[in-house]
Structure 1
């Protein structure tokens, strides 16, 4: 696999969301079982495309200070059931459950255990997201050793979350609509990391976009898909075709604006299929994105070094 000269590897991730997302009217699974199967198939599709990881936004670590124990007819499938099914149906892709206001601690086998609050709980826009590691790591018995700690993914869009991301994240997600905004946030995050004594090269910054790929091969309206994302009430939204999206990815990455992209499909099944079979396939054909996983862990996918085992280092 090759990369743009002078740039790191291109990284891609996607959200596996429930039913129709962000106001679409079709494609909702009829029940929880169908929902699970739809999202398992989505994760398998993302893995076939070689994506680094998928985020599972329904799997949260903190139900709030006073959760309602009663049944919720609108609730999705049981989070642990969903995570277990996806983990058993995939082999390499990273699985990243999200926590709304606390850090998710990884328990035995890398599965999320009960979450516990950190000193100052983060808001949803600054949530911690701890990857449960890829399946090869998850199948190890016992707690993860320091050198195999889960990859930390943080939404660093809001200003108050950026210092946290710069100090602790492996991947920072930023919801930005323009390359100028994306470059400014990436520079800020890397500068803060370096000032804190951290290697800025150990932080991957992803642009996080909603994607609406319902307009065929190219954007239906000139200047929208080809012109880049538009800011909406739900966040920056790209509307166009798979080819235009591949051009945007190529340009932003080649210019060093971001290290990768995290996409949330507006219409889950349709847009993920077009992302993987259209956009990603084109990037692979151009030699800009992997056609296979060179390693077996999420750290290897992201080209991140394993953390130093401080206990072992102290004993030397």
Structure 2
């Protein structure tokens, strides 16, 4: 199954309407999810808050905001992501990222910037405790079609008592267990320090690669590392990340795989060309088993997303390579990922209140 997603990032856009427009457009194309980036390094709206506003204006598209684990409280992060899953009726994800600069650290004044290895170790611990907290809350009915497993002691919350390298959390969560059990966790695994965390905790790993061979190599590394952590590698989706510029149509296609690239740039791999050649690139890489799909960032948000949906996606649908409708209602169903069982229900573990 081919998976497609898109970024809805916009510079200096603070009105919700523009994000709703982009998300609805992506939903019309049947994309698995949209992402919205967020960082302490530059001004911009809170991604999670924006997509919480987009949620009631959409019906099926997955919503994945970037939420940084550095300088933030893990308990609050997991509760906010769980709330998005409830607001969207099981369509939430969480793009995990870290904050590495001293300038960002000074915004909070609690500690100095840390090396990438330490930050991604902490991010992994936040991902771990978030899953424990999602399991700790009362299990209540989710969206239609969701299978819920109630806690063995009648739904009472469970303390977590998690001790990380830089934080501790007792729990339980103040938000009921999310409709998906665990909202989908997304990590950009291009760089080495993030790759280990992605292999252990991510449901979706993004890989910025300029060639099929490079993407395939990273995918194999991720799957092998996931198996070493005791995970089923088939439970990890690996998507190639591309910046797409469809502005000049097929005329701009450079010689190369799939007509228009991708080519390296300061912003990462860039595809410049037309919707037809982009469809060919996507079909070829996916058909060869290089990746499970693509995460596409439009160079010009509205223009390129329209050409992506009306051109590239329509062609892939016509060839029977991509869905024409959503068979399920949750993001996990779009990605063909199982809903995680509640660890307390599975183990029969009991805690005193």
Instruction: State the TM-score, normalizing by the size of structure 1.
Output: 0.77
- The CA RMSD over aligned residues, in Å, is 3.5
The structure 2 residue matched to 1:98, chosen from 57, 66, 72, is 66
* CA deviation map 1:221-251 (0-9, x unaligned): 4448615200111100000000000000000
Local SS of the residue matching 1:122: helix
Is the contact made by 1:146 and 1:308 (CA closer than 8 Å) also made in structure 2? no
Q: Which has the higher contact order (CA 8 A, sep 6+)?
A: 1
The structure 2 residue matched to 1:40, chosen from 12, 16, 20, is 20
**Range 104-113 or range 46-55, more displaced:** 104-113
Local SS of the residue matching 2:120: coil
* CA deviation map 1:113-152 (0-9, x unaligned): 9x999994339x99x999xxxx959xx9942259611110
In structure 1, list runs of 5 or more residues that go unmatched. Answer: 1-8, 20-27, 65-73
* CA deviation map 1:263-302 (0-9, x unaligned): 1111111111111110001101111000111001000000
The CA deviation at 1:214 is 1.1
Aligned residue for 2:9?
17
**Range 95-104 or range 9-18, more displaced:** 95-104
Q: Give 1 or 2: higher helix fraction.
A: 2
Residue 55 (structure 2) pairs with residue 82 (structure 1): no
* CA–CA distance in structure 1, aligned partners of residues 52 and 194 of structure 2: 30
* CA–CA distance in structure 1, aligned partners of residues 59 and 78 of structure 2: 22
Aligned residue for 2:347?
314
Is the contact made by 1:52 and 1:93 (CA closer than 8 Å) also made in structure 2? yes
Is the contact made by 2:98 and 2:120 (CA closer than 8 Å) also made in structure 1? no
* CA deviation map 1:169-204 (0-9, x unaligned): 000001111000000000000011112211000000
* CA–CA distance in structure 2, aligned partners of residues 44 and 251 of structure 1: 27
Instruction: Report how many residues are paired.
Output: 276
Q: CA, structure 1 residues 272+190, in 2 after alignment: closer, same or farther (shift >3 Å)?
A: same
Is the contact made by 1:211 and 1:264 (CA closer than 8 Å) also made in structure 2? yes
Is the contact made by 1:211 and 1:263 (CA closer than 8 Å) also made in structure 2? yes
The structure 2 residue matched to 1:230, chosen from 254, 263, 280, is 263
* CA–CA distance in structure 1, aligned partners of residues 199 and 278 of structure 2: 28
Matches for 1:50-199 after TM superposition, within 5 Å: 50-58=30-38, 63=40, 75-77=43-45, 79=47, 81-102=49-70, 104-107=77-80, 109-110=83-84, 120-122=118-120, 136=143, 142-145=175-178, 148-199=181-232
Local SS of the residue matching 2:26: helix
The CA deviation at 1:217 is 4.0
